[in-house]
Amino acid sequence: MISRLFTLWIEGLVAACMLIGARLRPRGRFRLRGISGPLVLSSVDQSPSEALSSFDESQPVRIPEKILQQTRGAIVEIVVPKDAILQQKIDGLPAESFPYVEQVVLHQLETLFPWRANDVLHSTRVEKRTDGMLDVTVWATARSAIAPALAAAQACGAGEIRVIGDGDDAPTGGIVAAVGSENRTRLDRAHKIVRYAVIALLAVAAGVVGWTIFASWSLSSDVAALDVEIADRRAILKRIAENSRGSQSHGLEAKKNLAPLAVVVLDELSALLPVSTYLTEWSLDAGRLRITGVSADAAELVPLLEGSGHFKNAVFYAPTTRLTGGATDRFSIEATVVPRVAMAR
């Protein structure tokens, strides 16, 4: 079933490609008419129709090269009396038999028409009815009756030979009697191109799907490996932190006690200086503190620093100046920071 659907799909693509090619490069149309008298070849594309050549059915057909250049690969329509094309209908077939209609027609040709099956040229039209059945109409004519015209059409190098009736009730498009070698080559080439293209697309699709699955699996594996590695490193860091928490805290506390850290000094100054005192600059270098600022009680700052126990050798290293307004003084004080270990002693 899948193989049958795939074949039908390929045939549909080929038919579409051939139709597109025919529209892009339309083929010329010619007619062979020999209802009464010799066969006459004329061009359908010209208006009015112009006779190009005539052939005697009893003589071998020779096509001039000039005409052959026009007819090679074209559609040649053989015109026969409308009574030479018979029409029959096959009783309604179920819609499920649509893919097999042509096989049913071939099996019933000798029952439907008065000719041997190998002598029948036929055309089939299928119409779907509202009740789910199929109406099958078959038109046919005898190959032997138009043998000279078929030979002349083939001598013209026709890409396709059709048989049409000389009347309005002829089947649409006529009966396809033969497909020229050029058309067969094109059809074979179209089949190969479509098959290779479909196979290539399926291969590309399979490759993309496979690569996507592999990439997803590989990414998942990498993420899982990273998760395991991160968990291991966190466990190691946790053990190191637990083992060294005590020693690290003691070491930091010792450094804090032995060295006058800037944060500690700022905390002590914030707690020590009066509310009316503001610092504009300060520096700490090798235990030596320098502060500059504005205060309403500048003279009291040196005794205040000395008496705190956190600083010693406090002096004004620059003159104190009165600011405009007379309420505050600008000061510059230098002092040595007392390490916390020495204070504890």
For residues 10 and 137, membership in a common domain is answered with yes
- Establish if 208 belongs to a structural domain: no
219, part of any domain:
no
| Residue 49, both tokens | 């129709």
pLDDT at res. 258:
46
- Does some domain include residue 235? no
164 and 285 both lie in a single domain: no
**23 and 171 co-located in one domain:** yes
Long-range Cβ contacts of 178-182 (<8 Å, 24+ apart) = 178/150, 178/153, 178/154, 180/73, 180/154, 182/72, 182/73, 182/157
In a domain, 303, yes or no: yes
CA distance 304 to 170: 126
- Among 179, 212, 239, the domain boundary falls at 179
Q: Are residues 58 and 155 in the same domain?
A: yes
**Of 125, 160, 179, which closes a domain?**
179
Give the integer Cα–Cα distance in Å for 30 and 121: 20
- Termini Cα distance of the chain: 101
Domain-embedded: residue 231 = no
The whole domain housing 320 covers 262-344
Q: Say yes or no: 150 and 266 in one domain.
A: no
What is the bridge-based pairing of β-strands 175-179 and 160-165? antiparallel
pLDDT of residue 39: 84
Give the CATH number, domain containing residue 154.
Answer: 3.30.420
Beta bridge partners of 125: 137
> Which pLDDT score is estimated for 331?
92
Query: What is the spatial distance between Cα 168 and Cα 165, in angstroms, rounded to a whole number?
Result: 8
Which one, of 61, 85, 37, lies nearest residue 153 by Cα? 61
Q: Which pLDDT score, from 0 to 100, does residue 41 have?
A: 87
How many distinct structural domains can be found in the chain?
2
**Count helices and strands in the chain by DSSP H and E runs:** 8, 14
Are 173 and 268 in the same domain? Answer: no
Total number of residues shown for the chain:
345
Listed residue (94, 90, 156, 91) closest to 122, CA to CA: 90
Token pair for 84: 């030479």
Residue 244 belongs to some domain of the structure: no
Q: Residue 21 domain-assigned?
A: yes
Q: Are residues 148 and 31 in the same domain?
A: yes
Tell me, yes or no, whether 306 lies in a domain: yes
Cis amide prior to 81 (ω within 30 degrees): no
List, in sequence order, the alpha helices (H) in 55-180.
65-71, 101-112, 147-155
What does the pLDDT profile of the chain (345 residues) look like in tens digits? 566 666 666 666 766 765 565 555 567 888 888 766 688 888 887 666 677 888 776 666 777 888 888 888 888 888 888 888 999 998 878 888 888 898 999 999 999 999 999 999 999 999 888 888 999 999 999 998 888 888 888 888 888 889 988 865 545 568 887 765 555 666 677 777 777 788 888 888 988 998 889 888 888 888 888 888 888 888 888 888 787 765 555 555 555 554 446 788 888 888 888 888 888 898 888 888 899 999 888 888 889 888 888 889 999 998 888 887 778 889 999 999 887 654 444
Same domain, 267 and 143: no
Q: In what order do the strands lie in the sheet with 86-94?
A: 86-94, 133-142, 120-128
Residues 175, 268: one domain? Answer: no
Mark whether 6 and 126 lie in a shared domain.
yes
- CB 287, CB 260: distance < 8 Å: yes
Domain ends where: 130, 148, 179? Answer: 179
Look at residue 95 in the predicted model and tell me its pLDDT: 86
| Cα(274)–Cα(304) distance, integer angstroms | 9
Q: For residue 279, give the CATH number of its domain.
A: 3.30.1360
